[in-house]
Amino acid sequence: QVQLAESGGGLVQAGASLRLACAVSGRALSTFDMGWFRQAPGKERVFVAAINWRSTSTYYGDSVKGRSTVSRDNAKNMLYLSVDRLKAEDTAVYYCAATSRDTTFYERANRHASYDYWGQGTQVTVSS
């Protein structure tokens, strides 16, 4: 049974940096392409970042482009998301998601329907 578990959220000041982690169990991380999404209260879940299985390609949503880094450590079965210069509008529940690796990932990395497995989410609250 594949399980994803996010950690690293919390209350942070605007302008600070944050690093989220996602632990994957039940199957080797190297068999997945991975993504991060976030959902603010009353809003739809939106794409944040994605990375292919061997870390050769990364993708970012407009809201974090230029101040975010997605990375992974397949040996440790861990996925990471760093966000710098946090803003109040970054406040949301952040989710990691997994989909079996595929050559078409680049076409669909930003669609939440592309992912088969999801974590429970971690709350990030940015105070201004």
Give the DSSP letter of residue 116: S
| pLDDT band at residue 114 under the 50/70/90 scheme | very high
β-strand pairing of 92-100 with 117-118: antiparallel
pLDDT, mean over the chain: 97
The predicted pLDDT at position 128 comes to 87
- Give the 3-state secondary structure of residue 29: helix
Tokens encoding 98 = 């997994």
Give the DSSP letter of residue 52: -
The predicted pLDDT at position 90 comes to 97
> Whole-angstrom Cα distance, residue 87 to residue 90?
5
The predicted pLDDT at position 63 comes to 93
Q: Which amino acid does the sequence have at 5?
A: A
Tens digit of each residue's pLDDT (9 = 90 or more) over 38-96: 999 999 999 999 999 999 999 999 999 999 999 999 999 999 999 999 999 999 999 99
